[in-house]
Amino acid sequence: MVINALHILATGLGAAFLTGLLDEKRNGLAFMITLGALAFMSAVSAGWLVLFAATGAHPMDIQTAGTPPPFAIALRMGLAEAALLTLINLAGLFAAMHMGETLLARGRRAMAVLLVMVMALCGLVLTRDLFNLFVFFELIVIATGGLVLLSDDERAVSAGFKYLIVSQFISVLLLVGIVFGYHATGTLNIDGMAEQGSGAFALAFFLILIAVAAELKPFPANGWALDIYESAHPGFAALFSAAAASAALFAFDKVLAIGGAEWLPVATGIGIVSFVAGNLLALPQTNDRRLLGYSSIAQSGLILVAIGQQDILGEHYLFIAGGLLLSHAVAKAGLYWLSGFVAGRELTDWAALRQRPLLVLAFVTGIAMLSGLPPFPGFYAKWELVHLLANEGRLALLGWILFGALVEAGYLFRWFGYAIKRESAHTIDCPPDRVIPVIAALLAGWALGFAWGELSGRSNLLLVLPLLFALAFLLLEWAPAWLKNTLAIGGLSLYFLQTWQDYDPLRLIFLVIFTLGGAIIFLASFHAHGRRIGFYPSAMTMFAGMVLLLQATDSFGFFAAWELLTIGSYFLILRGKESEPHALSYIVFSLGGAFLILAGFAIAAASVVTLAPSGAVSPAPTFEIASLATLAQPVAPWVFLLLAIGFMTKTAAIGLHIWLPGAHAEAETDVSPMVSGVLLKAGLYGLFVLLMSMGRQSLYGVDLVNLMLWIGAITALLGNLMAIFQEDAKRLLAYSSIGQMGYALFGLALMNHLGWLMALMFVINHYVYKSMLFLSVGGVAKRTGTRAMYQMGGLITLMPLSFIATLVGIIAMSGVPPLSGFGGRWIFYNAIMDADTRLPMVLIFLSGPIAFLYLFRLIHTIFLGQLKDEHRRLKEAPLSIVLPQMIYVAILIGVAIFPGLILRRVDAYISQFLPDGALNWEGLTITSQYGWWNPVAIMIVVACIFLLIFGWLLFVNRKAQKVKQFNIVFSAERPYRPETTHFAWNFFAPYKKAMGFLVQPFVTRFWGAITDLLHTAGDLGRRLYNGNGQIYAFHFLIFVVVVFVSQLGM
Amino acid sequence: MRELYARLKALYPLGELTEQRKNLAFVTVPAAHLRDTLLHLRDKEGFTHLVLLTAVDWLEEGQFQLTYLLNNRALACDLGLRVLIQRDTATMESIHDLWPTAATYQRELREMFGIDFPGSPRIEEEFILEGWNSIPPYRRDFDTLKYAQEAYAERPGRVTHDPETHMRLQMYPGQHPAGK
Amino acid sequence: MTTKPELMKRMVKGPDGLEFEVDPLRDYYCEAPPTVMPGAYIQIVEDFFNWARSKSLWILGFGTGCGAIEMRPLMTPRFDAYRFGVAWRPTPRQANLFIISGYLSTKTLKRAIRAYEQMQNPKYVIGLGSCTINGGMYWDSYNTIKKLDEYLPVDLYIAGCMPRPEALLAGFEEMKKIIRTGKAEGANQYAENFAWYKANQKRVIHDWDMPDYNW
Amino acid sequence: MDFDWMKIPYAFLTVFIVVNYGFLMGALIQKIGARAGRRHGIPIWQYYLDVIKNYGLRTSITHGVMFYLGPVFRLSGGVGLLLFMPVIYGSYMFSNFSFAGDLILALYFVFFGTLGMALGAGESGHPHAAIGVTRGLQQVSMAELPFAMAVFSVALQYQTLSITEIVAAQQGGMMNWTLFTNPIAVAAAMLAFLGSMMRPPFDVFIAPQEIPIGPPTEYHSSYLALMQTNRAIFPVAKIVIYMNLFFGGAGSWPELFVKVFFLYLFSAFVGVCFPRFRVEQSIRFFLVWAVPLGVLSIMVV
């Protein structure tokens, strides 16, 4: 049985009085009373929440004086109210706990104010009476003013004062509005007013609405709020951001009901401007709390947008607005509480959190919730919101939302990068009364994620096995790395064994790479010692995302998997020593790409699925990926474009590639092959799916597939060209990946049978040799302590196995027979015979030999040439790193001799889509329409000739004297030092002279300029907030005028 | 050249001017005034180019004569400054800071004559001789024939002829030597 | 005898923190001495090889002194030594005839020894000009050797100061005869009397900064 | 697998013929070059003598395994290239192992020897070897481009990747040669041909005085002998590709000898007429002159 909601207000008020009555010295008791009251209030509201959630009961009106309105104040308790009250009261409880020390020091009055504040917030949510609303607002303002003073920060005083000034402006407007409204309608009851409509008292309603809106601190009328966020006690700031903002939003929603649909655009407008501007302003921030403040403003803006769009959200309104609101509130409260642990106010000071992995988890949970990443409610909410917007054709709004979200993710993840990578001198102590709120927020976040997953009506991501498996590693963090590694390998292998029958040959290839391929790379992870905290959850999340991607049949599952693998890989990449900026650019590009995919899916969904009319409970639009094929003309090419750009971001097509080199090169030894060899294939899989379902599309007469063909060719050329000028071995490989992905993209875009086969061949080969080379180079880098190739040299005798792996890798990669790369080239030539466009081939022809250049450089400058002094005692790379390489060598040779083992089935499968040009697999010879190829014969002939000549040389040259590295003819001199004798630096200088104009960093400059532009915009905006209270009031006035004028104009 | 000498003479205690040609003259400078004179010539008189720096071993006088030959590109004339230093101490101030090329000459002089130029770059390093183990070979008290006979194996049977006598015998066999 | 700094033993710290000693002469150079290499077991094969060797004289392109100027005309249409199977190679590895073209200062001698030792057995040396025979006009130089065969095994001297290209061509023909008769075993002679040659070389080269045999 | 074991002696025969032809033709071209300089030039059998001499050297050194294997790779590349092609059109005897692959195999197998050689030279630790290799690779990377385009153009023209079929399509008179049916492609390919024949103006990577003959600077004795053997086989094999693609192939050995000789002479002719390019100059040369021709050839075919 639940307790009357009035008791919530009564308890708050009563406890506040009670503390007031207590003796000055009984602070302890007062604090207990405060906590008790808040706990009771929380319990009551939670009881209501459970009631509504479990029974789906209708909202209940509570009449205070025993009469219905307009004669008395009415309260209403419903699902939303209950949820919000729970949130507010719990936030109040934990805020009190968090501020315990301060409250105890300041005495019972502070506690009373806090209780009043929470009570007023509850009242704001519950009341249906306009004047009552005003009263609660006033209470909140006064309580806020008082609570701000709790802070040690001197600026808090002036902040509180400015707050009071502006609040009086707002109150005046509100009061005037209420008076005129009452005059016009004769009632103060919101529902009563709503029945009569706002037409009669539009100006009055405008005043009411604008006043309530101003409580949400919209841009630009929010300078005073920022000062509070920045200077108030973090415990209170959490309450202010999480509870006060939520309550105000709810109040706004209530008030808006009076105005009806015509006022919705106002909410949308205020919301989207606040969202975008708030995020832009947050971008250049270096103060953590101010940044959170801007983010709060932005998030409120986003929720306002949802409120403003309630006309199209239909029955999903609560799901969306609630999801956004709750995840914002929980995350923001958690982050503010976390900031209480951090001594410094710079973003970089958060590095201190690293001492406590649990706090890092809380931090990352908060950031993921704010950014709307799965599996948190914001993700589901954003999915629905975007789809509904797209369905209504509100694409501009959709675009701005995604843009703002991207900026937000940018600064949040930059912050996270600082926390993980920077150094902080501060230490962290964890008193339980401060840890508990944070943990509560953390748990609440995951619980909400679960709840929203359940509510979404689709597969709950937190119940999906692969993700659960990945998250389970969070609980295993205490275990040694080898144990977790074994589990990871076992998990991947088992997953493969369990599911491989369910896939068609194409997906099976990707599955093999994603699971078994991952497992082989994990073998290399055995070299790590200690616990390797954070590695396994991230890596397994990435792998979970990838296998889910393969499983996904509908757009939602696909997108969720896409986001998961992005996040997982981001954390993985961030682990590298110098990888902070590169991981950031990776996540920004990836999320940008993901948002494009989201937009694409949303637009597609609008055409594929007809939305159920409001009323019927059906999950918001999601559709079978395969039904992309049914898209009709005006929409299809745009969807294709959005999806293709999204996927090409992942494959690092030229123009979108700048994140890749740093991210892959700076990652750890075993992470580089994972993100390069395995992860890039996810992008290719996306492109496969896209092209399989949508085929050719053209936009304004431009054949988009043809465009992709060009992009692929240019990527292949420029990726390779940039690779040859790298001095850093891993960067070289990273650029080479760009080129290789260009090849694969090219093959796909050929849109013929063999082109796809070639792309698949690249998928397999690139996985094998790039993983192998990354491991090999990583092993060498591990031993030599450097990645600069010119500092190495002559390692062939010391690291023979790594050398063999590299040798086999480069032979395979350059396409020289008899290894498997040749098969790819052979298919390529046969494929282009069928192609309609011939010019891009020129670029591909050129990029092949160029690949040869950087490969030779790789093997020569590392393994050949002159051994350095300090490397003379190096050992072979650790067994765990060498073993996978040897497996790869075996695979490469196996694939080289029997390519049919894999390709034959895929060949048949592709025939479903592109029947022409299939290969003929009779006997050992593979025949196409144009030529033939017999891998076994090639291998045997080459081996025989080679052995024959080798035997002959052994015979005639049996007495060769083995000499050492300085026994070279040196123009009758002798070498001076190995460093000066090893030709390695600036290896291809003439090429730079001749072709250097092609590798100017235009793209880097372009994206750099865009980033600068955003930062500058944020910086300019920041000048609005100069700390002057009068100016802030002026801002408010401008805000009112602008909104009024634009409303008139509408 | 005479005017130049007159101008210089007014500033520094110079020795007599020896005019070799119209545009080539030598003058002796005390070691202590060398640097000032060189600087003056380089910066005020346009002798911007150090043509060479060489030495003469005046064994009998117990002196080394250093010759700094300067060139004035505009007037196309050369002026040699001669400095006499003690042979037993054989040390001279380095001028590599005036002309960087001087460092090379000084290394050569140190190796071949044993004249030291403290502070000159790489002065300690070998210049062209590798592993020289005797007194500097350009000093006149170094007996090069004796050294060659001791150091390098000889093929027996070598005969040395006076060229004039030998050629006369070759061309006019049977005649008496000239003038006899 | 002074050792050059780059050849001195040094302590080096590896990337893994391990400190160890590097002895350049031991670690960077092969220490094996040259050995006498017998010809083919079957005499007729050796004769066949000698015939081929005599027809394919590859000269090391290393002009040690002023006599080198007399080799250039051999490549011109006027003398055209190529028609006799004579060619120039830029690397000692591939050359088998070393023409010491004129005086050898001790400094050049060091380089000549290196180049000679880097050639492959069988290898031949021709001393060109009187300087290589008895010092010539440099008989009293403080820095020039006077008797080449004291330091390297010489197969043939071509006298003159300078000998003209015709004399060189005649010398090549003579050299071919020596090779064909199997008497051009300079490399084996060098290996047999290695200690003697080394002692002679080290007597005049005071800063011996290389391994004893330059492979 | 039904393999005709007679192919093995046939293969040996092919290699034997080509080695002898290569030695003699190489010397003949040398002599012609010498005559251009008014010299007699080397005896026609000089290359045999050089090879025998090099095998007859009594000592050799090795810098390591890759160094040892480098010439093996090199010669295998040459021999393999030769044997993977149908050398004589219409002759089963001299079609050798062309059943293993088509034109693409031959094109890519060219790199087999290059790669092995580059690695072997690299292990010698000689900086000049590395410099030579990088120069060679850089130049070849651009020189191959017009050739690849020409091959593509020809393959499109005849709609096949089979060398035999390409040759078959050119039978029936000189006017059926690709030279006349697709002259632009041939022009592009012949410029590329110059770049891959290690002759002036594109031989800076073996510059004898600057970086003593580049990659092979440490090779000697039997290594060098193997490489010389390859120098006899490889150019012939390479020219055979050109001959088959552009000049009607050869139906008999004499026809092959003549065609290969004239094609080889072409590069030698250019070589004695023009001085040497630096690497970036030759890259620009190919980019400016040969690549547009190649592009044109695949556009118009």
Is B147 a member of any domain? no
pLDDT of residue A620: 55
Is A439 a member of any domain? no
pLDDT of residue A134: 87
Q: Is A62 helix (H, G, I), strand (E, B) or coil?
A: strand
- How many CB pairs below 8 A link A and C? 68
- Give the residue carrying structure tokens 């290896």: A987
Q: What is the mean predicted confidence (pLDDT) over A516-524? A: 92
Element (H, E) at A135: helix A130-148
Is A290 a member of any domain? no
Share of chain A above pLDDT 70, in %: 97
The answer, yes or no, to whether residue A781 has pLDDT greater than 80, is yes
Q: What is the mean predicted confidence (pLDDT) over D260-289? A: 90
pLDDT of residue A186: 78
The answer, yes or no, to whether residue A411 has pLDDT greater than 60, is yes
The answer, yes or no, to whether residue D135 has pLDDT greater than 80, is yes
A861, A789 contact by CB (below 8 A): yes
pLDDT of residue C2: 58
Query: Is A in contact with B (3 or more beta carbon pairs below 8 Å)?
Result: no
Position with higher pLDDT, B148 vs A914 = B148
CA torsion B126→B130→B131→B135, rounded to 10°? -70
pLDDT of residue D209: 66
- The domain total for chain A is 2
Name the residue range of residue A50's domain. Answer: 1-128
- Fill in the DSSP letter of residue C127: E
Alpha-carbon gap: A722 to the closest alpha carbon of chain D (Å):
14
D238, D198 contact by CB (below 8 A): no
Secondary structure of D72-112 as H, E, C letters = HHHHHHHHHHHHCCCCCCCCCCCCCCHHHECHHHHHHHHHH
Is B58 a member of any domain? yes
Check if B158 contacts C (Cβ < 8 Å): yes
CB contacts, 8 Å: D295 with chain A = 839, 842
CB contacts, 8 Å: C142 with chain B = 134, 137, 142, 144, 147-148, 151
The answer, yes or no, to whether residue C74 has pLDDT greater than 80, is yes
Categorize the per-residue pLDDT at D42 as very low, low, confident or very high, splitting at 50, 70 and 90.
very high
Which one of A919, A945, A973 terminates a domain? A919
Categorize the per-residue pLDDT at A504 as very low, low, confident or very high, splitting at 50, 70 and 90.
confident
Question: Which residues 108-127 of B have a C-beta within 8 angstroms of C?
Answer: 126
Domains and CATH numbers, chain C: 43-204 (3.40.50.12280)
The answer, yes or no, to whether residue A617 has pLDDT greater than 50, is no
Q: How many Å apart are CA C44 and CA C15, to the nearest integer?
A: 57
Is A818 a member of any domain? yes
Is B138 a member of any domain? no
pLDDT tens readout for residues A234-269: 888 888 888 888 888 888 888 888 877 778 888 888
Check if D258 contacts A (Cβ < 8 Å): no
Q: What is the mean predicted confidence (pLDDT) over A212-225? A: 80
> Using the beta-carbon criterion (under 8 Å), do C20 and A871 form an inter-chain contact?
no
pLDDT tens readout for residues A592-603: 999 999 999 888
Is B102 a member of any domain? yes
The answer, yes or no, to whether residue A76 has pLDDT greater than 60, is yes
> Using the beta-carbon criterion (under 8 Å), do D58 and C215 form an inter-chain contact?
no
Share of chain B above pLDDT 70, in %: 97
Is A241 a member of any domain? no
Is B152 a member of any domain? no
Element (H, E) at A225: helix A223-231
pLDDT of residue A1049: 63
Long-range contacts of C177-185 (CB under 8 A, 24+ apart): C177/C54, C178/C124, C179/C50, C179/C53, C179/C54, C179/C122, C179/C124, C180/C47, C180/C50, C180/C51, C180/C54, C181/C50, C182/C39, C182/C46, C182/C47, C182/C50, C184/C122, C184/C124, C184/C155, C185/C122
pLDDT of residue D296: 92
Categorize the per-residue pLDDT at A611 as very low, low, confident or very high, splitting at 50, 70 and 90.
very low
The answer, yes or no, to whether residue A553 has pLDDT greater than 90, is no
pLDDT of residue C51: 95
Mean pLDDT, chain A, rounded, equals 86
Q: What is the mean predicted confidence (pLDDT) over A718-723? A: 91
Element (H, E) at A679: none
A interface mutation test: which of C23, C110, C117, C214 has the most A CBs within 10 A?
C214
- The domain total for chain B is 1
Of C38, C53, C82, the CB nearest to D39: C82
Mean pLDDT, chain D, rounded, equals 90
pLDDT of residue D1: 55
> Using the beta-carbon criterion (under 8 Å), do C48 and D52 form an inter-chain contact?
yes
> Using the beta-carbon criterion (under 8 Å), do C62 and A972 form an inter-chain contact?
yes
In chain A, the residue whose alpha carbon lies closest to the alpha carbon of D118 is: A856
Query: Is C in contact with D (3 or more beta carbon pairs below 8 Å)?
Result: yes
Please state the ipTM of this predicted complex: 0.91
Q: What is the mean predicted confidence (pLDDT) over A513-536? A: 90
Q: Which of A969, A513, A398 is nearest to A768 (CA)?
A: A513
pLDDT of residue D261: 95
> Using the beta-carbon criterion (under 8 Å), do B147 and C142 form an inter-chain contact?
yes
Position with higher pLDDT, A519 vs A261 = A519
Specify the pairing of strand B49-58 against strand B24-28. Answer: unpaired
Q: How many Å apart are CA B154 and CA C133, to the nearest integer?
A: 9
Share of chain A above pLDDT 90, in %: 24
Q: How many Å apart are CA A28 and CA D65, to the nearest integer?
A: 82
Is A191 a member of any domain? no
Alpha-carbon gap: D21 to the closest alpha carbon of chain C (Å):
20
Q: Which of A174, A247, A251, A248 is nearest to A206 (CA)?
A: A174
Rg over alpha carbons for chain D, rounded to the nearest Å, is 19
The answer, yes or no, to whether residue D68 has pLDDT greater than 90, is yes
The answer, yes or no, to whether residue A851 has pLDDT greater than 80, is yes
> Using the beta-carbon criterion (under 8 Å), do C55 and D53 form an inter-chain contact?
yes
> Using the beta-carbon criterion (under 8 Å), do C214 and A871 form an inter-chain contact?
no
CATH number of the domain residue B58 falls in: 3.30.460.80
pLDDT tens readout for residues C10-47: 999 988 888 999 999 999 999 999 999 998 889 999 99
The lowest-confidence range among A194-198, A206-210, C55-59 is A194-198
Of A856, A924, A941, the CB nearest to D118: A856
CB contacts, 8 Å: C39 with chain D = 58
CB contacts, 8 Å: C83 with chain D = 39-43
Categorize the per-residue pLDDT at C78 as very low, low, confident or very high, splitting at 50, 70 and 90.
very high
Neighbouring C-beta atoms of residue B89, cutoff 10 Å = 10
pLDDT of residue B180: 45
pLDDT of residue A615: 40
Of A829, A950, A967, the CB nearest to D61: A967
Question: Which range, A206-220, A888-902, D43-57, has the best average confidence (pLDDT)?
Answer: D43-57
CB contacts, 8 Å: A955 with chain C = none
Secondary structure of A637-651 as H, E, C letters = HHHHHHHHHHHHHHC
The lowest-confidence range among A336-340, A423-427, A725-729, A842-846 is A423-427
Which one of A128, A155, A170 terminates a domain? A128
The lowest-confidence range among A191-205, A638-652, D277-291 is A191-205
Quick one: tokens of B125? 């390093």
pLDDT of residue A198: 66
Is A611 a member of any domain? yes
The answer, yes or no, to whether residue A609 has pLDDT greater than 60, is no
The answer, yes or no, to whether residue D212 has pLDDT greater than 80, is no
- How many CB pairs below 8 A link C and D? 86
Of C52, C93, C121, the CB nearest to D53: C52
Is A282 a member of any domain? no
Total residues belonging to chain A = 1050
Q: What is the mean predicted confidence (pLDDT) over A65-80? A: 75
pLDDT of residue A612: 42
Name the residue range of residue B85's domain. Answer: 2-126
> Using the beta-carbon criterion (under 8 Å), do C147 and B148 form an inter-chain contact?
no
Categorize the per-residue pLDDT at A493 as very low, low, confident or very high, splitting at 50, 70 and 90.
very high
Check if C64 contacts D (Cβ < 8 Å): no
Q: What is the mean predicted confidence (pLDDT) over A366-379? A: 89
Is A592 a member of any domain? yes
D interface mutation test: which of C93, C97, C118 has the most D CBs within 10 A?
C93
> Using the beta-carbon criterion (under 8 Å), do D108 and A817 form an inter-chain contact?
yes
- Give the residue carrying structure tokens 């205490």: A478
Alpha-carbon gap: D167 to the closest alpha carbon of chain A (Å):
14
In chain D, the residue whose alpha carbon lies closest to the alpha carbon of C62 is: D209
The answer, yes or no, to whether residue A506 has pLDDT greater than 90, is no
